[in-house]
Structure 1
């Protein structure tokens, strides 16, 4: 009988404990649910910042839970302001850094995609980086020559050109896209660059960073002094030889190594 009482008491205690545990778990779940919006925003903003810092590399897709956040950022006023701030630093640098020799060998390098031309309209149709890149699809879109200009970069492009620097465009686009790329650049208002360097067949299996560094080396070997580089990917500005100063524009849609 006494054993039965002890067993009954134990069962009541266990039931009460489980009930409290379940209640606490439910409270935690509700709390988590209520805070999900801000927590997810913080996570996605942290992910975006670490992409820009080059801590997160080689990702194939934007995390599914961050697609909306990344899409809103890349089409926001904040993205434009961030880009304009970076380019203001270029202007400040050019106003005080450089004594050009005027011998035709002072040079500046621009990337093309998401530096001069925006791929955001393409990525908007493909879940803002939430889909793994289909290069055939992207190149078909590039052949339409409809990429809009990044207006904040165009202004700087023409300022640099008017200062007498030679402008070189070094893009990871393939050589077969030359006509379409030139048409697109001219159509939106870019003109007067010295050379557009695209990937030849022998470059297609070379990492982008190495390909662009090799292109810069050829320019240096020809006697050019590279005062600056502007690009949206770290692979556009890293590697040797580099410029006296490099500038990185924001882009968290994709990573090119």
Structure 2
């Protein structure tokens, strides 16, 4: 099988994926250990028998619906290569909107203290730690296995300004006052039909769904965050496309000011925030 013939098999993914050519190229690059540019420069090159077998196995897994990130064991986020596993959410581009907003909020703050709740792979915390070397970042997750994964990502990136702790939301967070608390918590209604579609079928329900129509964890974080924020500190949350109004209401009722929301790259309300006075 040539590289060109392997690339032509993207047609098998056309009904499954929004980016079949990208999917096939990523799988193929892993098998031949070459960059994507190589695929287009040397389309006539033949795969070895071992490379072909691995590629076809990868392709079969993708056709069965398994996410590319799980097949390859990694996903880039904020230009950072992150190890992923079925224990965590796969970092998504729209979450980079939260990182962008967080960095704007930190403008003018020297040596800020940042808390990331429910860190998963560590994507948000690692992005902030990489951009703000002067920051002290603390990230938490309720699963010790997930915390270990985030620690591996931290160590691989050589970031020394990020610490991780096992905590169920605020249960084991040190009594510090942070300049910024960020979180991408579970926010999907358990009855949402999208849970049986696409990549989310392969992701842990504990990282996706929350009671009260998806609002339970968001409300918990909003309720407890003031106990961990400095005066003028801010809380920044990712939420569902249809939850912006509910999150703003919860923030305002708790006493946050300057409450607002922002759209994601798809034009949906995706992040909301407030300042604690």
Q: Same fold (TM over 0.5)?
A: no
Larger-Rg structure: 1
Structure 1 length as normaliser, TM-score? 0.35
Q: Name which structure has the greater RCO, CA cutoff 8 Å, separation 6+.
A: 1
- The structure with the largest helix share of the pair is 1
